[in-house]
Chain A
């Protein structure tokens, strides 16, 4: 397809920096006072015209944050983060009075999204995908609004939801990830700027993929995204997020909190293609991606499925989890994590079985190249009440070259004798004979690596929505460029 050709050309034209999304956009910005303080929290809340209950919630979270110890980084090597060196809110000036229609959006911002391959003009939009785009701290546009409205589906920015649907937000925010969960959860609760809000009413099957595109543009800005998705009884939704950032020598911080709630018989499918700027070959710059994602299958026979393709960020720290509270509920986690050069990833999942007959499945594919470190860390916990529950876990690691590392750290806690837990793990080096075979058929070494790694990840990639699977395959190949000599 011509698109592949173009992607490859575009990537090549970036010379030794392969990151395609590394441009930045010149814009006038409104920023919070630099640093982290109660004043910052108040500033953000005021910018968004928030009701008092929201401000109080934030202020409380900020108190909690100050009391909590920093998370224990385990396998990651993380330089001390100077919280005072970041801006916690940044908004292009032209978005201050939220545009009523796409025509009112600053053309520079529209251009940015077009460069990213995300056209926001409704007529040009990917068919069957509704997009919300978050630029630095604010939501830029939500497309397909009318069609969704007619079905009673709410898909808007969290800021808008706080204004328009306060009861739903109040009821569910922080109900899956308590403010006091850990330091980043508290920080996010205090200073979150924007993110998506989704509510699918009872009995509705959302007819389109809902998608949010996150972009960090402003320098020294942290992005604290907050997403809340509620699937009411007998409903279904598939949601996808994508992320990019410009290339900057300074590290940028992204600490998201994502909460999912599935009621009786509801299903939420949440997919992520994370391609934040990973830093350069020497490990300079790049995004610190500290994400808390957690879903609760609150209702009986509900299902939550996480699929993630993590190729970007200098450091990724992320464990999308499922709390299987309802009887017969199901949790799934499909993950591809690729680290190249000096990237570090510590990612995995937690499956907490509380209800009877609950089941979970974990498929993790870790690929390490260059001098990168890649860790799968997972917890499967089966409560004494969760009789007849089962888990299947498979963790495969692939090493490219001999300076990288792969680690698998599975924790299992079972307090229930009639539950079944299966765990399989493999670690292998990329097979030289396979590479030779592919190259004998005319593939260059990078295409050969891309092909073999995509094959290795197939079980995960096939769970992505169709529209994004092809893009993800290209991303897998691109992020490994330069990994073979």
Chain B
């Protein structure tokens, strides 16, 4: 599904990612953990095609395609989804209208007609209900004056209706209360199948109790320094990054 090979990325001449390798197969859930500033969000932006990042070396393959050749919207329509660490506010644009526009963009890309109004209403209602997002909320401007946790739920709602093949969740759990954490995790688990994959970026082992990863990777200073299974997250919780990085080097 996704193969990152010896990736080197810099921003304005400053090296951020320094030789990162990661392969995610269909149906797998990978967790990525690492200290602040180690390059996790940078990786998620590079994967989704944000401007301003210099790819100095390396290659990324996505479903047999050279990912770096594709535009942001092409990547999205080919099933790559990023749940943002800091979702954007779009004033004047009603949340439900935004969702509809996003669905229709994908449908247009796939050569399908626009979504039927009734069908759309049904889809949104059931997905939003599951996430505890009210219909009043859907009438408000996208993310404007949403609380931190509400914004994160909104990201998961978008993911649920767009049904990506490869979803990257950048600290979706940060700022969520206990109940929201469970609800959001259920949203992810519902989507999880043999056909799609996840890269879950988090600081907390707690999330991984809900979303059981197949692999856990630790990133430090732009490189994956250790990989393992779920137990690595437990070990990390106990010893902290410093110890683990030491062992790795």
Q: Which residues of A contact B (CB under 8 A)?
A: 1, 4-5, 431-434, 436-445, 447-448, 451-452, 454-459
Contact = CB atoms under 8 A, between A and B. Distances in A.
Contacts of B141: 455
B101 A440 contact: no
A459 B91 CA distance: 10
A444 B73 contact: yes
Contacts of B101: 441, 443, 447, 451
A5 B114 contact: yes
Interface of B: 48-51, 71-73, 76-77, 81-82, 84, 87-93, 98, 101-102, 105-106, 109, 114, 141, 158, 162
A437 B154 CA distance: 13
21 contacts: A4-B114, A5-B114, A433-B88, A434-B88, A434-B89, A434-B90, A436-B51, A437-B87, A438-B90, A439-B72, A440-B49, A440-B73, A441-B158, A442-B77, A442-B102, A442-B109, A442-B162, A447-B105, A452-B93, A458-B91, A458-B92
Contacts of B88: 431, 433-434, 436-437
A433 B98 CA distance: 16
A437 B84 contact: yes
Nearest to A1: B114
A9 to B, nearest CB: 12
A4 B141 CA distance: 22
A49 to B, nearest CB: 50
A4 B51 CA distance: 30
Contacts of A441: 76, 98, 101-102, 105, 158, 162
Given A5-B114, A451-B101, A440 B91 contact: no
Nearest to B75: A440
B114 to A, nearest CB: 7
B140 to A, nearest CB: 12
A436 B92 contact: no
A439 B48 CA distance: 10
- Among B76, B114, B141, the most chain A Cβ lie within 10 Å of the Cβ of B76
A459 to B, nearest CB: 7
Given A436-B51, A447-B101, 14 more contacts: A431-B88, A436-B50, A437-B87, A437-B90, A439-B71, A439-B73, A442-B77, A442-B105, A442-B106, A442-B162, A443-B105, A454-B92, A458-B91, A458-B92
Contacts of A447: 101, 105
A291 to B, nearest CB: 27
A443 B102 contact: yes
B102 A455 contact: no
Nearest to B93: A455
Contact of A451 (B87, B90, B114, B162): B90
B72 A455 contact: no
B186 to A, nearest CB: 22
A431 B143 CA distance: 15
User: Which 9 pairs between the two chains have the least Cβ-Cβ distance?
Assistant: A455-B92, A458-B92, A442-B105, A455-B93, A437-B88, A439-B72, A441-B102, A442-B76, A439-B73
A440 B74 CA distance: 9
A441 B102 CA distance: 6
A431 B89 CA distance: 10
Contacts of B71: 439
Contacts of B73: 439-440, 442-445, 448
A352 B88 CA distance: 41
A432 B72 CA distance: 13
B92 A456 contact: yes
A335 B87 CA distance: 30
A440 B105 contact: no
Contacts of A433: 88
B51 A432 contact: yes
A432 B162 CA distance: 23
B207 to A, nearest CB: 22
A455 B91 contact: yes
A224 B194 CA distance: 68
A439 B49 CA distance: 10
A117 B93 CA distance: 27
B10 to A, nearest CB: 19
A443 B84 CA distance: 16
A442 B92 CA distance: 19
B87 A459 contact: no
A456 B89 CA distance: 12
